[in-house]
Amino acid sequence: MAQPAAATKDFEPLQAAPDVGFWQELSQRKLDLWRLDSSNVPVTAFYEASQASRVPAKCFLQKDAFQDTRVPVGAVKVVGELKNFNTEEEFRAFLGNADARQSCLAEAVAQISSAIASGKALQEPWQLRRLLLCSFADLKKYHYSYLLTLPALKTPKPWQRVREPIEDLGPEVLALVAKGLREKDFDGLCLLTRAADVGWSLRPMADLLNVKVESEDDLILVFVDPSSEEAPAWSLQNALVLLAKHRPGRRRVLAFRDPQLAGASGYTSSGPQLRSLLFRYALDAEMESSGDCRAGWSKIATVDLTRFLDSKMVAANAV
């Protein structure tokens, strides 16, 4: 197989980051509420703009994931479902069966496609981000195995990105974006537009169809990006499909990673190190999805939480 010059990922995977409280709550519900009922359960997760380099793009799930649909201020909401299996055999059987996996995601994929086609996703960007967390809990041993997927719509060709210098926007504009994202909830996705008299400003996705700009370079998609690697996070893909559908063109995308710029000055005179990245994507009208998806399943992780959840251990280890 020929080796291309520099193979890099097209999108950075999200890492499932359920905390101890999440598993504690799951265990409780399994015992008291669900018992053997293995229907999917709604959960709410969130991610944040990357605030350091070279850390995983975490998708957080906490104790309140099961009942609260709010996420912390400034965080990006990811709505989804938990599929918890009763036995390890069922967990393995499901994951090992391509048809079962595909059909399980079919509904989420259909909802995403429909939200894009109808334009609903412009009003509600969270419709683009749907999570499925699959898990198996051995409650006696406090072993929890899990993996996640955020289905991305498949496009006829792969997305090609071209990186452009972030200095084309510069720190003042980035600070404006950071502050704007902090002041108003844009649901993780918005537009950065430039007008002759007012300069750059942030607008909700809902303005996509009617905002007028002098040049298409004055319309940039702002994506709150949890990735700290070269590639933007996996969840950008459905946003690109949305844009290609409703306002195609060779467009710039800002993978936003500088939330700290919303704070007051805290930087040395050499200026802030900008970590946000600017890309140009060919958002062609033809990049319409067939309705198939790229699941992008994460690796299966297993944690042993005896030390945290076994009350005898907890008492013994408290010093």
Q: Name residues contacting another protein, limited to 84-103 (CB under 8 A).
A: 88, 92, 95-96, 98, 101
- Residue 195 sits at φ, ψ, to 5 deg, of -125, 150
With contact defined as beta carbons under 8 Å apart, do 148 and 47 qualify? no
> Does residue 137 interact with another protein by CB under 8 A?
no
- Residue 252 sits at φ, ψ, to 5 deg, of -85, 145
How many residues of this chain interact with another protein, rule: CB under 8 A?
81
> Does residue 273 interact with another protein by CB under 8 A?
no
Q: Between the CA of residue 76 and those of 5, 6, 50, 56, 241, what are the distances in Å? A: 35, 31, 12, 16, 19
Question: Closest separation between CB of residue 303 and another protein, Å?
Answer: 5
With contact defined as beta carbons under 8 Å apart, do 250 and 282 qualify? yes
Applying CB under 8 A, the span of 108-116, 137-145, 169-177, 270-278 interacting with another protein comes to 137-145
> Does residue 33 interact with another protein by CB under 8 A?
no
Direct distance between the N- and C-terminal alpha carbons of the chain, in angstroms, rounded to an integer: 58
> Does residue 141 interact with another protein by CB under 8 A?
yes
In this complex, which beta carbon is closest to another protein, that of residue 31 or of residue 314? 314
Applying CB under 8 A, the span of 116-124, 195-203, 217-225, 262-270 interacting with another protein comes to 262-270
For residues 230-249, which are near another protein according to CB under 8 A? 231, 234
In this complex, which beta carbon is closest to another protein, that of residue 74 or of residue 248? 74
In this complex, which beta carbon is closest to another protein, that of residue 188 or of residue 259? 259
Applying CB under 8 A, the span of 165-173, 189-197, 214-222, 290-298 interacting with another protein comes to 290-298
- The residues, any chain, with a CB within 8 Å of residue 216's CB and separated by 6 or more, are 249, 250, 251
Q: Between the CA of residue 231 and those of 41, 163, 178, 236, what are the distances in Å? A: 31, 10, 20, 10
> Does residue 36 interact with another protein by CB under 8 A?
no
Applying CB under 8 A, the span of 155-163, 194-202, 205-213, 235-243 interacting with another protein comes to 155-163
> Does residue 259 interact with another protein by CB under 8 A?
yes
Identity (one letter) of the amino acid at 68?
D
Tokens of 151: 């289905």
> Does residue 299 interact with another protein by CB under 8 A?
yes
DSSP annotation of 298 reads: P
In this complex, which beta carbon is closest to another protein, that of residue 112 or of residue 262? 262
> Does residue 198 interact with another protein by CB under 8 A?
no
Question: 275-307 burial string, b = 16+ CB within 10 Å, else e?
Answer: bbbbbbbbbeeebbbeeebbbebbeeeeeebee
Half-sphere exposure of 73 (CA within 13 A, CB side): 3
153 closest CA partner among 264, 9, 290, 21? 290
Question: Closest separation between CB of residue 48 and another protein, Å?
Answer: 7
Question: Closest separation between CB of residue 130 and another protein, Å?
Answer: 16
Question: Closest separation between CB of residue 94 and another protein, Å?
Answer: 10
> Does residue 10 interact with another protein by CB under 8 A?
yes
What residue has token string 């510069």?
A: 170
